[in-house]
Amino acid sequence: MQQQVQQATSPQQKAQLKNQLNDVHQEISDRTQKQLKAFAEENPEIKQPDPEYDQSLKR
Protein backbone atom coordinates (compact mmCIF):
# COMPACT_ATOMS: atom_id res chain seq x y z
CA MET A 1 0.00 0.00 0.00
CA GLN A 2 2.90 2.34 0.80
CA GLN A 3 4.19 1.65 -2.70
CA GLN A 4 0.78 2.52 -4.17
CA VAL A 5 0.93 5.90 -2.45
CA GLN A 6 4.36 6.56 -3.95
CA GLN A 7 3.22 5.47 -7.42
CA ALA A 8 -0.04 7.44 -7.34
CA THR A 9 0.06 10.29 -9.82
CA SER A 10 -2.82 12.61 -9.01
CA PRO A 11 -2.87 14.45 -5.68
CA GLN A 12 -6.43 13.21 -5.17
CA GLN A 13 -5.31 9.61 -5.68
CA LYS A 14 -2.44 10.15 -3.24
CA ALA A 15 -4.69 11.69 -0.60
CA GLN A 16 -7.18 8.84 -0.93
CA LEU A 17 -4.48 6.19 -0.56
CA LYS A 18 -2.89 7.99 2.38
CA ASN A 19 -6.27 8.08 4.11
CA GLN A 20 -6.69 4.36 3.52
CA LEU A 21 -3.20 3.77 4.89
CA ASN A 22 -3.99 5.83 7.99
CA ASP A 23 -7.20 3.85 8.49
CA VAL A 24 -5.25 0.60 8.33
CA HIS A 25 -2.68 1.91 10.82
CA GLN A 26 -5.49 3.01 13.16
CA GLU A 27 -7.24 -0.36 12.87
CA ILE A 28 -4.01 -2.23 13.66
CA SER A 29 -3.37 0.07 16.61
CA ASP A 30 -6.90 -0.41 17.97
CA ARG A 31 -6.73 -4.18 17.65
CA THR A 32 -3.32 -4.28 19.30
CA GLN A 33 -4.60 -2.18 22.22
CA LYS A 34 -7.59 -4.50 22.63
CA GLN A 35 -5.35 -7.57 22.59
CA LEU A 36 -2.96 -6.02 25.10
CA LYS A 37 -5.82 -5.06 27.40
CA ALA A 38 -7.31 -8.56 27.19
CA PHE A 39 -3.90 -10.10 27.84
CA ALA A 40 -3.32 -7.83 30.86
CA GLU A 41 -6.74 -8.77 32.28
CA GLU A 42 -6.07 -12.49 31.79
CA ASN A 43 -2.63 -12.21 33.38
CA PRO A 44 -3.02 -9.99 36.45
CA GLU A 45 0.14 -11.49 37.96
CA ILE A 46 2.15 -9.56 35.36
CA LYS A 47 2.69 -6.21 37.02
CA GLN A 48 1.50 -3.09 35.26
CA PRO A 49 4.07 -0.30 35.09
CA ASP A 50 3.77 2.13 37.98
CA PRO A 51 3.10 5.64 36.61
CA GLU A 52 4.81 7.17 39.66
CA TYR A 53 7.96 5.17 39.02
CA ASP A 54 7.83 6.08 35.32
CA GLN A 55 7.68 9.79 36.17
CA SER A 56 10.67 9.55 38.46
CA LEU A 57 12.74 8.05 35.64
CA LYS A 58 12.01 11.00 33.37
CA ARG A 59 13.24 13.67 35.79
- Reported as a single tens digit per residue, the pLDDT across 12-52 is 888 998 999 999 999 999 999 999 999 999 998 887 677 67
Helix (H) or strand (E) holding 51: helix 51-58
* Dist. CA 2–CA 16, nearest whole Å: 12
pTM score: 0.60
